[in-house]
Structure 1
Amino acid sequence: MKALTFRRYGKSTPPDYTDVPRPQIGPDEILVQVHAVGLNPIDNMIQKGTFKPVLKFELPATMGSDVAGVVAQVGGRVTRFKVGDAVFASVFDLGQGTLAEFVAVPERVAASKPANLDFVEAASIPMVGLTSWQAFKERAGLKAGQKVFIPAGSGGIGTFAIQLAKHLGVKVGTTTSTANIDLVKSLGADEVVDYKRQEFETVLRDYDMVLGTIRGDGIEKSLQILKSNSAIVSLIGPLDAAFARARNLNAVLRFVFSLMSWKIRRLAKKRGIRYSFLFVRPDGAQLTEIAGIIEAGQIRPVIDKVFPFDQAKEALAYLEAGRAKGKVVVRLV
Structure 2
Amino acid sequence: MAAAAGMKVAAGVRAAGGGRMLAWRLHSYGGLGELRLDNARVPPLRGTDEVLVEVHAAGLNPLDVGMAGGYGSRVLNMLRQLEGSEMEFPLVLGRDLCGTVVRGGPAARLRPGTRVWAALPPHRPGALAQFVVLRDSWAGEAPRALDATSAGGALYAALTACSALRAGGMLNTPRSRGARVLLLGLGGVGQAALQLLAAGGAQVVAGCAAEQAELARRLGAAEALDRHAADYERALEEGGPYALVLDCSGAGGWAASERRWRLARYVTLSSPLLRETDARGLLAGGARALADLAAQNLALRRAQPAEGVTASCEPHVRWAYFSEQHAQDDIALLKSLADRGQFTVCVEQVFPWWDATAALERMARGHARGKVVLDFTAEAPPSDGARSF
Query: Could you state the TM-score of these two structures normalised by the residue count of structure 1?
Result: 0.89
Q: 2:118 matched to which residue of 1?
A: 89
* Aligned equivalent of 1:69, options 87, 95, 99: 99
For 1:55, give the aligned amino acid: L
Give the secondary-structure state (helix, strand or coil) at the position aligned to 1:292: helix
- Find the residue that maps to 1:17 and give its secondary structure: strand
What SS does the corresponding residue of 2:41 show, helix, strand or coil?
coil
Identity of aligned residues (%): 27
For residue 20 of structure 1, give the secondary structure of its aligned residue in structure 2: strand
Task: Please list the CA deviations of residues 195-217 of structure 1 after superposition, one character each: whole Å capped at 9, or x if unmatched.
Answer: 22236432123112122222357
1:209 aligns with 2:229: no
Deviations 1:111-162 (A, max 9, x none): 11011211111112111211111211x2111221112222222x22222221
Q: Which residue of 2 aligns with 1:10?
A: 30
| Residue 153 of structure 2 corresponds to residue 124 of structure 1 | yes
Distance 1:50 1:234 in 2: 18
Q: How does 1:18-97 map to 2 (within 5 A)?
A: 18-26=38-46, 27-56=48-77, 58-78=88-108, 80-97=109-126
In structure 1, the residue matched to 2:210 is 178
Q: Secondary structure at the match of 2:217?
A: helix
Contact preservation (8 Å) 1:31, 1:105: yes
Which of 272, 278, 288 is the aligned partner of 2:320?
278
Which amino acid counterpart does residue 297 of structure 1 have in structure 2?
G
TM-score (norm 2): 0.77
What secondary structure, in the 3-state scheme, does the structure 1 residue paired with 2:74 have? Answer: coil
Equivalent residue number for residue 149 of structure 1: 182
Partner of 1:224, secondary structure, is coil
Does the CA-based 8 Å contact 2:23-2:130 persist in structure 1? yes
In the TM superposition, residue 225 of structure 1 has moved relative to its aligned partner by: 6.0
Secondary structure of residue in 1 paired with 2:221 = coil
SS of the equivalent of 2:44 reads: coil
How many angstroms apart in 1 are the aligned matches of 2:216 and 2:54? 34
> Cα distance, 1:226 vs. partner?
4.5
- Between the aligned partners of 2:250 and 2:212, the Cα distance in structure 1 is 20
Aligned mates of 1:162, 1:225 — CA distance in 2: 24
Query: In structure 1, how many angstroms separate the alpha carbons of the residues matched to 2:231 and 2:360?
Result: 30
Deviation sequence 1:214-233 (CA, Å, 0-9, x none) = 235785157536435x1122
Shift in alpha-carbon separation, 1:269–1:41, aligned structure 2, 3 A:
same
Partner residue in 1 for 2:192: 160
C-alpha contact (below 8 Å) 1:109/1:285 kept by paired residues: no
Q: Is the 8 A contact 1:177 1:196 kept in 2?
A: yes
Instruction: Name the structure 2 match of 1:299.
Output: 343
Q: C-alpha deviations, 1:172-199, integer Å up to 9, x for none? A: 1222222222121211212212122236
Residue type of the alignment partner of 2:72? F
More helix per residue: 2
What code does the residue aligned with 1:239 have?
Answer: L
For 2:124 and 2:349, locate their aligned partners in 1 and report how far apart those are by CA, in whole Å: 27
Name stretches of at least 5 consecutive residues in structure 1 with no aligned partner. none
Is 1:233 matched up with 2:253? no
* Distance in structure 2 (CA, Å) of the matches to 1:331 and 1:255: 42
Q: Indicate how the Cα distance of structure 1 residues 266 and 238 shifts in structure 2: closer, same or farther if over 3 A, else same.
A: farther
Following TM superposition, by how much is the alpha carbon of 1:288 offset from its aligned partner in structure 2, in angstroms?
1.3
- Residue 273 of structure 2 aligns to a residue whose secondary structure is coil
Q: Single out whichever of 63-72 and 264-273 deviates more from structure 2.
A: 264-273
RMSD across aligned positions (CA) = 2.3
Note if 1:322 corresponds to 2:362: no
* Whole-Å separation in 2 of the counterparts to 1:12 and 1:302: 25
1:332 to 342, 357, 376: 376
Distance 1:5 1:197, change over 3 A: same
Shift in Å, 1:30: 0.5
User: Matches of 1:165 and 1:5 in 2, distance apart?
Assistant: 37
Shift of 1:92: 1.6
Alignment size in residue pairs: 323
Given that 1:31 and 1:102 are in contact with CA atoms closer than 8 Å, whether structure 2 keeps it comes out as yes
- CA offset at residue 237 of structure 1? 1.2
| Residues 131 and 217 of structure 1, relative CA distance in 2, 3 Å threshold | closer
